[in-house]
Amino acid sequence: MSQMLETEQGVTKDQPRIAGRSRRILHIGKYFPPYSGGMETYLRDLMVAQTKQGLESTALVHQSALSLRSNTEQYPAYEQTLSVTRAAVWARLLFTPISPTFPALLHKLIKRDQPDILHLHMPNVSVFWALLLPSARRIPWVIQWQSDVLASEHKLGLRLFYALYKPFESAVLRHSAKIIASSPPYLESSATLAPFRDKCEVIPLGIRLPGQVQENLHVAQSAHSQPLRVLAVGRLTYYKGFKYLIRAMVHVPEATLDLIGSGEEQSALEGLISELGLTARVQIHSGVSDNQREHFMAKADCLCLPSVERTESFGIVLLEAMRSAKPTVISRVAGSGMSWIVEDGITGLQVPPKDTDALANCLNILQQDRDKIAILGGKGRERFNRYFHIDKSAAEAAKLYQQVDKWRAQSQQQDNQ
């Protein structure tokens, strides 16, 4: 970890080759942009950075909408084009895509591309097909551990689902060569990863720095006499804790809230906004593009992420705020990476989970002290540059791949003896 934090920003210059060609990585993910989500943003940006490194990086994911057809496309991503195969999704069960064609596509891509490493992004039920395919089992696996599947106290269905999911999850972890955790607190608190600590490495997630962000940095903060402009971004689901933020807005009369997202709690949140008489100051925006979201970020004074469970393992949107020099207000959830990303009183403010009064107090502090907004935001940008640029994350992943190459060579040597 300490070596990662000291790595200079930029791509890895000395990439070893496999049998005279570039190393090939096949990513197995859940979804991919334009589907909007933190993990999808990370996978796209990671593949772009890996292409710059000289790796051959492709992805197998799911269609984001129900469909009976799969497709392979060359996805344009900034200065690169990425090969992405989207498997048909016939149904969804508890947010899980059901894709009977996934194993055939995985086998086809392995045969076509002959990848050197399978980079498996979990949680993702379709990853389990790799256990049943001899072609997949012959390739080393690197697990990108996005989050534990929590037996949530809020959802009986998730508890029952995890009872079925856990044996396969454990089998994947046993077979893996390396496991990537996104932050030290999450690794330390994960009971699922505890038996596999010897395989685990911490590599924080990262995002790229688009040119538009440079302009965002010069957007003036609103004057003291104007409302504090609060932004929140995420799927409208229970663990994000947005209902506590909306209730806090009652006690921050000189503030507005733009909440970007969609999900199963949207109707309930809209009803809460109406019930509390906040329709003039609190708005929910669905179907927002990446460019539109950057526009909202540019206008905001701060970002708030009031999540209430470790299901919020990291918070990519926190990085988006930090790269735009915006302070952040977060819940201090034990074991989550959020409170590791955001330094309390330095780059943002932390409050106990589900504490409406504490949220309101922090927002009122920022409303009354615009100089504090600028100071916290500036420190956040410095922290982003130091730790969370995608090139840093990609460079550490490349080092991990090299370790896997050595592990595979040693395993083959032992098999031949």
Using 50 as the pLDDT threshold, list the residues of the chain that sit under it.
1-15, 212-220
Q: Does the model's pTM come out above 0.85?
A: yes
The answer to whether 119 and 142 are in contact (CB under 8 A) is yes
Rounded to an integer, what distance in angstroms lies between the CA atom of residue 307 and that of residue 335? Answer: 12
* Apex 378 CA angle, 373 and 380, nearest 5: 95
Rounded to an integer, what distance in angstroms lies between the CA atom of residue 284 and that of residue 391? Answer: 33
| pLDDT of the residue at 63 | 97
The answer to whether 7 and 41 are in contact (CB under 8 A) is no
Inter-CA distances, 50 with 18, 120, 356, 378, Å: 15, 16, 42, 29
| pLDDT of the residue at 94 | 74
Task: Give the helix ranges, DSSP H, for 35-133.
Answer: 38-53, 102-113, 129-132
pLDDT tens-place string over residues 139-160: 999 999 999 987 655 566 666 7
* Apex 155 CA angle, 269 and 273, nearest 5: 5
pLDDT tens-place string over residues 238-265: 999 999 999 999 999 999 999 999 999 9
User: In one letter, which amino acid is 273?
Assistant: I
| pLDDT of the residue at 163 | 82
The answer to whether 390 and 208 are in contact (CB under 8 A) is yes
Order of all β-strands in the sheet with 255-260: 282-285, 255-260, 228-233, 302-305, 328-331, 348-351
| pLDDT of the residue at 7 | 38
Residue with tokens 């072609």: 135
The answer to whether 221 and 373 are in contact (CB under 8 A) is yes
| pLDDT of the residue at 149 | 84
Closest CA to 342 of 355, 356, 327: 327
**Element (H or E) spanning 364, and its range?**
helix 356-368
Question: Domains, the chain, ranges and CATH?
Answer: 2-208+389-416 (3.40.50.2000), 211-388 (3.40.50.2000)
Q: Which backbone phi and psi does 289 adopt, to 5 degrees? A: -75, 170
- Between the CA atoms of 263, 265, 266 and 272, what dihedral angle is there, to the nearest 10 degrees? -160
Rounded to an integer, what distance in angstroms lies between the CA atom of residue 201 and that of residue 5? Answer: 13
